[in-house]
Chains A and B, each alone.
Chain A
Amino acid sequence: MAQQFFYDNQVRRFITQFMRIVSGFQVEFGQGANGQRTLQQVPVIYGDPSRQASVILKQNSENMMNSVPAIAVYVSALDYDRERMQDPTFVSTINIRERAYDPVTGNYLPAPGDSYSIDRLMPVPYKLTIKVDIWTSNTEQKLQLWEQMATLFNPSIELQSTDNIVDWGSLTAVELKSTIWDSRTIPANADESISILTMQFEMPIWISSPAKVKRLGVITRVINSVYDGNGDLSLDAISGTTMMGRRATIFKDYYLSYMGNQLRIVNKNQLQYVFNGDFSKIDRWSDLITGYGDLRSGISEVRLRHPNGVSETVGTVAPHPTDESILLYSPNIDTLPANSIKAITAIIDPMTVNVDQMSLLTPSIGTRYLILNSIGSYNNSEAAEAWNANHPEFVANRNDIIEYTNNGWAVSFDAENSQAYQFVTNLTTGAQYKWDYQNTEWVKSVEGMYEPQDWSIVL
């Protein structure tokens, strides 16, 4: 299969710009019939035209007259420039964020738009040699043109093929290398050839392969090098407390509140309001995201790093229809933490449960409840009647998970003695909960307040 075609008019653009450089010169004619001197701009054309096109320009007639003076520009050589060769495998990557673009008006807007990552392969160095032939009908005319052009090259002039800031091969310099004063010889004898002055220029140019342009995801967390300045493995990389130190480089000082399906950003100075239940003074998402790109509903992701340090919940976000301080969060169920405890049937408060309706006396084997208050007490000589049908002295503490077995109710998860994060799903609601052993409470598994370094956003 043939390789993909590419052609970017690179040499054509250099020639075009070169012709621009030598365009616009004028010659002055002496006083004519009206006693006035006149100026005439000298046309510049490419000096290697096709015969067919030239015939058209001549009106397919022998009688059309060529115009003098005239300047012709043409390529006389294009050679690989071995001395300027650099690492052919070098790839330069630059990241650029554009302003938003309005396709209707064709204008850029004062707002952030797409961001791109551009990979550029080392371009190939060439030396482009261009000749400029100047045809004049008399010596004075030749001197007029030469004097104007001669001051332009001292000895070189910069030339750009594009004004695109990512095009690292666009800039070159045109250097005048030699001048041949006249194409005719002296004495001319019977020769009536036209007089041509030739100036030869050289341009060191770069010919580039196509670039790789990719949509840029904003990196909001940077992993430090695992090596220190001496090249040794950094202690940070192996320390349990500072493992691979992270930096919230973009959203520093911003906490993330995740409640229900709503995400809010909370500046550290605003935490006091949030702790008091006041969300009216927190920042808008747009204030934070502006400068990093557009929030794309259903595409932009928020990543929540769990305190267990090994898993991350990824979900897409969408703007709240009325409140700019809220993003609606849809976590990908596959990225939720894995359950470490067998799923529970329901969450119940044993102090308020309606015994008749709960069928507590005849549950099926394997029924599991997470209890919000204790059942019975070792300090109480009387057992809890509703729970002790087959287990006269059943006692369970608050936050335990109990399970009905062939021998009656038994404690399946002893919260009081658990020293690790645990995850369990409530089959009644489908919600997953996390046992926070440090704060000794059950919370939604991924909901809560995330510290700046524990969350990130990919737009």
Chain B
Amino acid sequence: MARISLWKDGRHSNDYKFIDRRISEMFTMGGTGILIHKYLGTHEQSDSTDPTKPAYTNQSELNIQDLLFVENRDRKYDPDIYKMRGIYQRQDTDFDLSQFGLFLQTGTIFMTFHINDMMDTIGRKLMAGDVLELEHLKDYHALNQDVPAALKRFYVIGDASFASEGFSPTWWPHLWRVKINPLVDSQEYKDILKTIVDGTADTKTADIMSSYGVYMNINNAVVAQAEKDVPLSGYDTSHIYLQPDYSGITTDDVKDTADDVTHSADDSTLSPSVKPAGYLVGDGVAPNGLDCGVGIEFPSNVANGEYFLRTDYLPNRLFRYNGKRWAAVEEKIRANLTLGSNNKTLRSTFVNNANTFTDIEGNTQPERQSLSKALKIQADN
């Protein structure tokens, strides 16, 4: 009589199959519904010429997008959603208040899946990068009643391995244990969060469930207040009244009409000849709110004391006509401080530069080029 042995020399015995079917049935009866977004690999980076960032033509979860940093950033997920049953131990949760908002302190959970069901369903074992939606944790009661859909609970798998409790007396494993963490709205998961429509046809999951929108609103409000406090660099002197300059006025300067017969050349009122001195006060605006022409050449028929801003100078230069010449008064050096195209600081002219030039062969070239690429030979095709 052969000795009783549940280990069958590496074969999956009927004992194993019997136990496996019972376990599968247990998951069917007692497991919770899990929706799985299967990781397929990374999106094809067809414009890459960098060997460390291969432009894979065969999309596969085996591909590594960045061979230098060994990371997959632009992940591609199966548009089909797979349904499985999983089991995990519920526990109370607390929030950690961090500099980036609230995080679930006990957010990491361990969930087990039936291996053979998993293979039948998605064709492979669950792996790091697969995204799970726990249907039973859907939150129908967001604080904002206008949110057009219930808030779903997404997790992403961090690690996966055989569950110790999933080994039967046959010593074969039946369960796959995954360590899952709350999903964040990051580059890696845009394929899911920016694809799934929630609530309305135009609303994506990320629009509803990500903190990005509210954080950007907060950021914009802060910048708006900063721009209100300091619209331009330097100091605002436009509200300061300056004494008009009477010096050097001749009879030609009289601008009075016949109604002002009581006035002589000596009492003509002209504009101030100077503006307040100081650090970064040049705003290119005539003092005392006087009219100021703007252009790339001086006007003719100009009266003494008139101001004119020449925009062909960089920085733009403010002039005043004193009867003999256009005297330079100041340069318009106050600039917008918010980073962007309106920022005209020296650095910004290098960074925010959309200018182009035409080379000798008639090709249009961008002015802004990375130093590592500037003047390098280009392919003709």
Contacts and interface: CB of A to CB of B under 8 A. Distances in A.
Contacts of B102: 51, 54-55, 58, 66
Contact of A19 (B195, B222, B238, B340): B222
Contact of B66 (A110, A140, A164, A165): A140
Given A32-B190, A160-B233, A163-B234, A98 B239 contact: yes
A425 B184 CA distance: 95
B204 interface: no
A408 interface: no
A33 B152 contact: no
Interface string A45-69: 1111101001111111111111111
A51 B97 contact: yes
Interface string A12-26: 010011011101110
A57 B227 contact: no
Interface residues of B, number: 99
Given A20-B222, A24-B339, A98-B240, A43 B142 contact: no
B160 interface: no
A109 interface: yes
Interface string B234-263: 111111110110000000000000000011
A329 interface: no
A431 B335 CA distance: 64
A44 B219 contact: yes
A79 interface: no
B236 A99 contact: no
Contacts of A161: 229-230
Interface in A106-150: 108-113, 133, 135, 137-141, 148
Most B CB within 10 A of own CB, among A46, A61, A141: A61
B238 A108 contact: yes
Interface string A75-107: 000000000000000000000111111000000
Most A CB within 10 A of own CB, among B238, B281, B289: B289
A17 B228 CA distance: 10
B229 A59 contact: no
A99 B290 CA distance: 11
Contacts, number: 266
Nearest to B214: A57
A280 B230 CA distance: 51
Given A96-B240, A109-B289, A163-B235, A20 B151 contact: no
Interface in A148-168: 148, 151-152, 158, 160-165
A23 B223 contact: yes
Contacts of B362: none
Contacts of B121: none
Contact of B229 (A37, A97, A163): A163
B151 A23 contact: no
B344 interface: no
A49 B276 CA distance: 42
A60 B141 CA distance: 9
Interface in B202-244: 206, 209-212, 214-216, 218-219, 222-223, 225-227, 229-241, 243-244
A72 B100 CA distance: 6
A323 to B, nearest CB: 10
Contacts of B219: 19, 23, 43-45
Given A99-B240, A99-B288, 14 more contacts: A23-B339, A64-B151, A65-B183, A65-B211, A70-B215, A99-B289, A138-B69, A138-B71, A140-B69, A163-B235, A171-B279, A192-B158, A284-B263, A287-B269
B182 to A, nearest CB: 7
Contacts of B215: 43, 45, 57, 67, 70
Nearest to B103: A66
A281 B262 contact: yes
Contacts of B262: 280-282, 284, 325
B293 to A, nearest CB: 16
Contact of A72 (B99, B182, B185): B99
Contacts of B138: 63
17 contacts: A23-B338, A29-B73, A30-B74, A40-B187, A44-B219, A45-B215, A47-B100, A57-B215, A64-B209, A65-B182, A65-B209, A68-B187, A139-B71, A140-B66, A140-B69, A162-B230, A282-B262
Given A43-B218, A67-B184, A67-B215, A30 B73 contact: yes
Contacts of A48: 99
Interface string A320-345: 00000100000000000000000000
Given A44-B219, A164-B235, A63 B152 contact: yes
A25 B339 contact: yes
A267 interface: yes
Most A CB within 10 A of own CB, among B159, B218, B338: B218
B188 A133 contact: no
Contacts of B182: 62, 65
